[in-house]
Chain A
Amino acid sequence: MLNLPQPIVTFLCSTVVRDRFPAYLQVSQEGELLAFGGDCDRYGLSPLHIHQLVDEQIDFLAGLLPLQDPAMHIPFLEIEEDIIAEVHLFTAQNEDWVIFFDATTENEKHVLIQQKVNDLSLLRRKQARSLGQWMHPETVAENILDIQPAGEQKLLTILVIKCCNIAGLEDQTMAVNPLKALDTYLSTISPLVLDEGGIIHQSIGNSIVAVFGAVPSTREAPKQAIAASMRILDACEKHTSSHPSSKCALVVTTGVVTVGLLQVGFGKTLTVMGHPMDVAVNLNETSQPGTLIIDKQTFDRLDQRQKYFLATSQSGSTMAGLPSLYSYCKR
């Protein structure tokens, strides 16, 4: 056993292993129970009968044996109420073996963490929904966004995301229903923007404009925008395995803009105007899928993340007065 001396093996068996209440089953390839032992009662496995079909005695084994893979591991299995087992199944010498260890305490720890993660996720969703639908725009502006409803000049970071190949022909799903594809993009991107402290300003065609710095935060807006951008690129990369054409082109600019609430129809909408916005939208139009371009103002505020960016002259834009640009190079 891993070249451990016998006294250590004995010690481990009499402490670590014993404290986890092991139990085992030995099952023939025909599904007959050949032997059992250990603390089977603890897992609600008894009464067990030798030479009878095991799946008729232990419900969860129905359909699992004989094993199709060399081994299988179930970290947390609740067979008996309040008792959680860690189960290992493996094949040796043409027979299947099932080993049980008590994992009740370990499970409790996992449940605590997972519960928090899921609760936060649900809360985040509720908040996003509330912001968008149920709160009066002026209340949002005064209490949630750090802006004067009448308008003001502010240093903000703009992130423009173009969802590429929406109507592309190489991916059947997207060609059939571009709106559904855009909806998929939006649902993926929106939580990532919100997570990093941004807000979705507007959606124009297949481009999304997000603003950072309007929501009070201890982090600087450019850093938030870059963190969101990297997560969006990662998400697109993961999505690419199932939808090869799914890619985004991102542009981030930082600068002083005029921000406020504008009466549109019967409601008010957040308005952001200024050169950084014009530059971001213009650059994004000519950006290539899978790229992230940032301006110098953003680059100068990045600290250690600057190393991921290289100066670039390629923008494809004919816009006059473009700032120095940098392109993201994943290392």
Chain B
Amino acid sequence: MLQKKICMVGAFATGKTSLVARYVQGIYSDKYQTTVGVKIDKKSIQIEGQDLNLILWDIHGEDEFQKIRMSYLRGSAAYILVVDGTRRDTLRTAFQLQTRVEETIGKVPFITIFNKYDQSQAWEIGEEDLEELSQRQWVYCMGSARTGLGVEECFITLAQLMI
């Protein structure tokens, strides 16, 4: 079976761990627990008749004290940029991270997920932001680890981009 390493990257508290928990175990907790270091998870899927083992690297969030070590991304087949849709500044962090990741591992498929889409009253992502992503030709989707909306689709879309 093909093994594919996928890294979750983004600013702190964007919901990377929750997205993995929702996708792999189908669970969600409202309590925010920060990730320090890396958590490894695995999910076996079948895409277009091909069996894949997705090895998910849930990497701690980027903040002013804790920078992501780009060496963690070595050997990645793809990555997911996680943005908190209720914190627009996390989109800027995603832009910066994408540049650094590409400098380290080159061009590999990636997808941006705007998490917390269930919190529409606090949503800070505007049309102009999505327009910018389109101009950059980034693949993106809306999702919610809490409700499960768009989570599976995000991983499946990325897997399709990989094979």
Contacts and interface: CB of A to CB of B under 8 A. Distances in A.
B155 to A, nearest CB: 16
B76 interface: yes
B92 A184 contact: yes
Nearest to A125: B87
Contact of B38 (A74, A110, A114): A74
Nearest to B2: A62
Contact-residue bracket for chain B:
20 to 34
A242 interface: yes
Interface string A66-84: 0011001011111100001
A40 to B, nearest CB: 16
A69 B89 CA distance: 33
A78 B40 CA distance: 6
Contact of B75 (A64, A125, A184): A64
Contact-residue bracket for chain A:
20 to 34
A55 interface: yes
A84 B63 contact: no
Contact of B63 (A64, A68, A111, A117): A117
B138 interface: no
A72 B71 contact: yes
A34 to B, nearest CB: 20
A64 B4 CA distance: 11
A122 B55 CA distance: 30
A242 B103 CA distance: 13
A281 B14 CA distance: 38
B76 A63 contact: yes
Contacts of A55: 3
A72 B73 CA distance: 12
Contacts of A75: 37
A68 B75 CA distance: 10
A11 interface: no
Interface string B71-109: 110111100000000011100100010010000000000
A111 B36 contact: yes
A76 B99 CA distance: 25
Contacts of B99: 242
Interface in A109-134: 110-111, 114-115, 117-119, 121-122, 125
B34 A62 contact: no
Q: Is the interface of A mostly helix, strand, loop or mixed?
A: helix
Interface in A42-66: 55-56, 59-60, 62-64
Contacts of A77: 37-40
A95 to B, nearest CB: 18
Contacts of B57: 60
Given A63-B76, A76-B36, A187 B92 contact: yes
B142 to A, nearest CB: 21
Contacts of B12: 118, 121
B16 to A, nearest CB: 13
Contacts of B87: 125
A200 to B, nearest CB: 15
Interface in B33-85: 33-34, 36-40, 42, 53, 55, 57, 60-61, 63, 65-66, 71-72, 74-77
B19 interface: no
B66 A115 contact: no
A153 interface: no
Contacts of B34: 111, 114-115, 118
A112 to B, nearest CB: 9
Nearest to A64: B75
Contacts of A119: 32
Interface in A169-185: 184
B13 interface: yes
A187 B89 contact: yes
B127 to A, nearest CB: 13
A62 B37 contact: no
15 contacts: A59-B42, A59-B55, A60-B40, A60-B57, A62-B4, A62-B5, A62-B55, A68-B74, A72-B71, A74-B37, A75-B37, A78-B37, A110-B37, A115-B33, A117-B65
Interface of B: 3-5, 12-13, 32-34, 36-40, 42, 53, 55, 57, 60-61, 63, 65-66, 71-72, 74-77, 87-89, 92, 96, 99
